[in-house]
Amino acid sequence: MKAFTEIAIPHRDILEGRLRMETYAADLWEVAKGTAPEEYRDREIFLERTYETQGLKQIITEAEKRLRGENADSVIQLQTPFGGGKTHTLIYLYHKAKQWGANVVVFCGDKVGAKDNTIWEEMEKQLSGKIERFKGKVPPGGEALKAFLKKHEPLLILMDEVHHYLVSALTEMIGDSTLSAQSLVFIQSLTNVVKTMEKTAVFMSLPASSPYGDESSERLLNNLKQIVGRVERVYTPVSDEEVADVIRRRLFSRIDEDKVKKIVKEFLDYAERETLLPEGMEKSFYRDRFLRSYPFQPDVIDVLYKRWGSFPTFQRTRGVLRLLAMVVYSLVNLKRPYIRLADFNLSNEEIRRELIKHIGSEYDSIIAQDITSPNSGAKRVDKLIGDSYRPYYFGTSVATTIFMYSFSGGPEKGATTAEVKLSSAETAVSSSIIVETIEKLKEQLFYLSDEGLFFTNQPNLNRVLIDKMDSIGPDKIESFEEELLKSRLEKCFETYIFPRESKDISDTPSLKLIILNNRNGLEEILHNHGDRPRIYKNSLIFLTQDPTQKTRFENEIKKRIAWEMIENDKTLRLTDQQKREIKERIKKAEASVKAALRDLYRKVYLPSRDGLKEIDMGIGIYGSDRGIDKEVYERLRQDGELVMSIAPMVLLEKYLKEAQFSETKKIYEAFVKVPGELRICDQEAFKTAVKKGVREGIFGLGRLENDKPVCLYFKEDCEVELNDGEILIKKEECEEKYETLSVQKTEPIEGIGISAAGTVPTDKPMQLDLFSQMRFEIRVPAGNFSNFVRTLNYIKSKFKHVSVKITLEAMEGEISKAEYEDKIKEAFRQSEIVVEKEELD
């Protein structure tokens, strides 16, 4: 789309930045004296820049007919709200009457003081150049007044700010009366006289209501209306529908209507796709309004004229004109295709001052804090919504739109989301970003009401939140952090949170996760257990903080604590809506603090041959409910830093490649003691690898007897004890022994109470008692189970089909469901054990 400045060309004074207040301050008195600015003094310029509304055309027609002696109204009252175009209309009448060759009398009650000339003296002075016949504080009679005025016909009498004059004349005493009362008598006489004349007309402007707010001034206005009401007619110079036309004529010298249609069509096509138009509003209706108001969106005119214009201090036409002239000037170089409420630059001091003088000076700092300063909430949102949206400054523009909708002189305030979308949308992107922006502004701004989309001068919950957050000390943060960490653990490791000394961490083979809030003390824990060297170094896993995430995390913790403090603060007078909002904020804060905790504790350090190896777990998945230790556990498994099982070939290559045998206990201890060795999840992982290697004939399992290896198990099931003397043996040694073994001694099997007999080779057959099948019901003490397995293996060597059914009872203890699933049920599955019946209580 083209820039609006290429389509609607502003007047030169706007382009050059000559935005003096007097340019838009219509002053009939200065025009009559010839001292007004050129825009008002020069008849051609003034008439060219004035849009002739229907009301103005009617007024001009009545005046011209009356001055020609034709049948028309003799006394006309112009009545609109403050700043509604009355004075501008009187100036237009002044220039027209001069153009027609009529005499003109101008009385401006805010320029002629009660101690200066009276109304009748001023009229005589302007028409005759002197004050003779009507000199004095007593008004002339009707006949004398009529005779005098008759001599100067055609005559147009323009009276502005009469009510102002009458109020100031209340204190000017004339005998038992006042100048105000005498002036009312004169006005009554004047209206009666003019009614009887042919070519004289009176136009008087009156405010719709007293701007002074006291009873005496209100009573005066009512008296004035009652006096002139008997003969006058009320005209409204500008209707609401014509305001846009007036503004365009005053601010722009030329508008290319064909190009306007193109711009408006493009916007409306976008608005239709995005469903931006208010419900029930026809597209054609909005198009007609936009065509009349361009380069301003219709909503700009509506908000300024109807909302801001309802303030008693806001001059509707004049105030809107001056403000929009400043807005146009501020946007000249920004290439905007049209002007939205979102484009009002509240950083511009003149624009800001023009607004806050009607709502209170405290909004100067509120605007800075929430919208315009570099650290304001709106500027933070500009950055939060993503790089692709940064050129549009949605945080600032949406906040500006809401601000412009926030105020009126009546009860109406605030905007709907639909209104904000319509006044902030960019046709290049989806309007859904406006909704996201509003939600972020609710979290960032301090004076955006908790009750709706409008600004107030009272701090909202966000401001209360900041105050509460400032009161939270480091001890409270650390305590909350520690409790939070405890709640985020699934007991995958033996875990220690913020240990004070190295001796607080046990020196055992079990895997340990040590969570530290800084790296201080990490080396001490790795190398020492109190006052002695640490033995099981490879069992340690350290989880520490990413320093870049510290500030964010502490801020999220403060928010979480602060929201709870607010909820429990009985001194705060919270509305029901705010209470509901607080509960929602607490819920969001809980999710945010969990995510921040995970992103903070992301540095894992593992003992290695070269010191400590770092693993960065990266940013977590938002909303994940996995425990932090569970994530560490899974990441280490994924990276191969923590193994659940060991291939028997690894044991062969590592410990039997150069040696005939190797002690199982020493191998296992290497895993848990030596930094950089394989880190196994638990002892069972090692035992399972040994059992599998023996069963598959990769190596054998035996004992050292008299410093010599004796193979006890090879290509069969076995139990691994990890006690002194238990060894892994090269398979070659086991194969040789099994092949040359000719005699197997009969020996009692400890702990079972039965014996197994072997065969002794002989040339003579031996007579033996033979059993073709066996069945036992036995009870095995827990500590003797390995002996039972040894016996079972022997039985398997004698019989083709061997099965065991075990009834296992475990009582007087407890185990978690997770441990049962991971440690017992998983072990059964891996060993292909079928559980026929399961009773859990």
Q: Which of 213-222, 351-360, 735-744 shows the lowest per-residue confidence on average (mean pLDDT)?
A: 735-744
pLDDT digits (tens, 9 = 90+) for 459-505: 999 899 999 999 999 999 999 999 999 999 998 999 999 999 999 99
Closest CA to 155 of 195, 86, 101: 101
Q: 18 falls in which pLDDT band (50, 70, 90)?
A: confident
Cβ(404)–Cβ(320) under 8 Å?
A: no
How far is Cα 257 from Cα 550, in angstroms, rounded to an integer?
58
Q: Which of 492-496, 663-667, 762-766 shows the lowest per-residue confidence on average (mean pLDDT)?
A: 762-766
- What percent of the chain clears pLDDT 70, i.e. is strictly above it? 87
- For residue 752, the model assigns a pLDDT of 35
- For residue 756, the model assigns a pLDDT of 36
Q: 782 falls in which pLDDT band (50, 70, 90)?
A: low
Whether residue 630 is predicted with pLDDT greater than 70 in this model: the reply is yes
- Tally the residues of the chain: 841
Q: 761 falls in which pLDDT band (50, 70, 90)?
A: very low
- For residue 768, the model assigns a pLDDT of 42
Higher pLDDT, 117 or 748: 117
Q: Which two tokens stand for residue 763?
A: 């040339």
DSSP 505: S
Q: 83 falls in which pLDDT band (50, 70, 90)?
A: very low
Site of tokens 């040789």 = 736
Higher pLDDT, 771 or 44: 44
Whether residue 519 is predicted with pLDDT greater than 50 in this model: the reply is yes
Whether residue 602 is predicted with pLDDT greater than 70 in this model: the reply is yes
pLDDT digits (tens, 9 = 90+) for 415-447: 999 999 999 999 999 999 999 999 999 989 999
- 516: phi then psi, degrees, rounded to nearest 5: -120, 140
Give me the residues paired with residue 84 across strands. Answer: none
DSSP 680: B
Closest CA to 443 of 576, 558, 559, 548: 559
Neighbours of 713 (CB within 10 A): 21
Higher pLDDT, 228 or 496: 496
- For residue 746, the model assigns a pLDDT of 37
Q: Which two tokens stand for residue 368?
A: 């800075």
Q: 148 falls in which pLDDT band (50, 70, 90)?
A: very high
DSSP 304: I
- For residue 766, the model assigns a pLDDT of 40
pLDDT digits (tens, 9 = 90+) for 98-124: 999 999 999 999 898 878 889 999 999
Closest CA to 750 of 785, 705, 706: 785
Higher pLDDT, 803 or 676: 676
Whether residue 198 is predicted with pLDDT greater than 60 in this model: the reply is yes
Whether residue 812 is predicted with pLDDT greater than 90 in this model: the reply is no
- What percent of the chain clears pLDDT 90, i.e. is strictly above it? 61
Q: Which of 124-133, 562-571, 686-695, 820-829 shows the lowest per-residue confidence on average (mean pLDDT)?
A: 820-829
Q: 787 falls in which pLDDT band (50, 70, 90)?
A: low
Query: Strand, coil or helix: what is 595?
Result: helix
Whether residue 742 is predicted with pLDDT greater than 60 in this model: the reply is no
Q: Which of 204-208, 328-332, 757-761 shows the lowest per-residue confidence on average (mean pLDDT)?
A: 757-761
- For residue 808, the model assigns a pLDDT of 76
Could you name the CATH architecture of 54-237?
3-Layer(aba) Sandwich (3.40)
Q: Which of 43-47, 210-214, 658-662, 688-692 shows the lowest per-residue confidence on average (mean pLDDT)?
A: 210-214
For the chain, percent helix, then strand, then coil, each to nearest 5? Answer: 50, 10, 35
Q: Which two tokens stand for residue 318?
A: 């004049």
Cβ(120)–Cβ(186) under 8 Å?
A: yes
- For residue 779, the model assigns a pLDDT of 63
- For residue 832, the model assigns a pLDDT of 52
CA atoms within 13 A on the CB side of 470: 6
Whether residue 134 is predicted with pLDDT greater than 90 in this model: the reply is yes
Query: Strand, coil or helix: what is 450?
Result: coil
Higher pLDDT, 539 or 225: 539
Closest CA to 723 of 783, 656, 648, 654: 783
For the chain, what is the mean pLDDT?
Answer: 86
Ranges of H-type helices in 174-331: 179-195, 215-228, 243-251, 257-274, 283-293, 298-302, 316-331
On the 0-12 / 13-18 / 19+ scale of CB atoms within 10 A, 398 is buried
Strands 177-178 and 173-174: antiparallel
Whether residue 615 is predicted with pLDDT greater than 80 in this model: the reply is yes
- For residue 446, the model assigns a pLDDT of 93
Whether residue 337 is predicted with pLDDT greater than 70 in this model: the reply is yes
Mean of pLDDT values over 523-540: 94
Give the angle 701-703-705 at the CA atoms, nearest 5°. 150
Domain positions in the chain: 54-237, 252-458, 469-638, 771-841
Q: 49 falls in which pLDDT band (50, 70, 90)?
A: confident
Q: Which two tokens stand for residue 499?
A: 């240990």
- For residue 738, the model assigns a pLDDT of 58
